[in-house]
Amino acid sequence: MAKIAVREAFSRARVPQIMNLLELPQEVQVDLINPPAPLKITQFSERKLRSLIALADTVKQMVAWRSWTAELLNKVTE
């Protein structure tokens, strides 16, 4: 991880934080790559994504993810 940190100009502590995002359910990862229209990737905070990981249960993660995206969609369409 130290080599990755140097190569990408991140701190050593930052690398595992970023890599932990790979623990998100596949559906969430796909939505982040191609956010549901009209949302953009910039509307998703990494801090909020880490809170999904902390749930540690895929069903709970998906419920929270769908709730979050619905909330964002409502804000955009208001």
Does 2 map to a domain? no
**What's the predicted TM-score (pTM) here?**
0.80
Please count the structural domains in the chain.
Answer: 1
Does 73 map to a domain? yes
Q: What residues make up the domain containing 28?
A: 24-77
Does 55 map to a domain? yes
pLDDT tens, 2-54? 888 788 888 888 888 889 999 999 999 999 999 988 999 999 999 999 999 99
Is the pLDDT confidence value at 78 over 80? no
Q: How far is CA 64 from the centre of its chain?
A: 12
Is the pLDDT confidence value at 1 over 80? no
Does 38 map to a domain? yes
pLDDT tens, 45-60? 999 999 999 998 999 9
Query: How many CB atoms sit inside 10 A of residue 35's CB?
Result: 16
Q: Tell me phi and psi for residue 69, to 5 degrees.
A: -65, -35
